[in-house]
Amino acid sequence: MTICIAAIGKGLDGKELIVFATDHMVSTEQIGQFEVPVCKYRELANNNVAMLAGDPLIFDRLTENCLRNSTHDQAKANIHKNMGTLRSEVIQKVYLDVFQIDYEYIQAALQGERTKRLRRKLINRYQQSSSALPPQS
| pLDDT of 74 higher than 80 | yes
How many C-alpha atoms does 70 have within 13 Å on its Cβ side?
20
For residue range 99-135, what is the model confidence (pLDDT) as tens digits? 899 888 877 777 766 677 777 787 777 777 655 554 4
Q: Is there a domain that residue 128 lies in? A: no
Average pLDDT over residues 80-97: 90
CA distances from 52 to 24, 76, 101, 106 (A): 11, 13, 32, 33
SS3 69: coil
For residue range 10-55, what is the model confidence (pLDDT) as tens digits? 888 988 888 877 777 776 666 766 666 677 778 887 677 787 776 7
Q: Is there a domain that residue 117 lies in? A: no
Q: What is the model's pTM?
A: 0.60
Domain count, the chain: 1
Would you say 41 and 21 are in contact if contact means Cβ atoms under 8 Å apart? no
| pLDDT of 7 higher than 90 | no
Q: Output the pLDDT for position 113.
A: 66
Q: Is there a domain that residue 118 lies in? A: no
Q: Is there a domain that residue 115 lies in? A: no
Range of the domain at 63: 4-100
Q: Which residue has the higher pLDDT, 137 or 121?
A: 121
Q: Is there a domain that residue 82 lies in? A: yes
Q: Is there a domain that residue 123 lies in? A: no
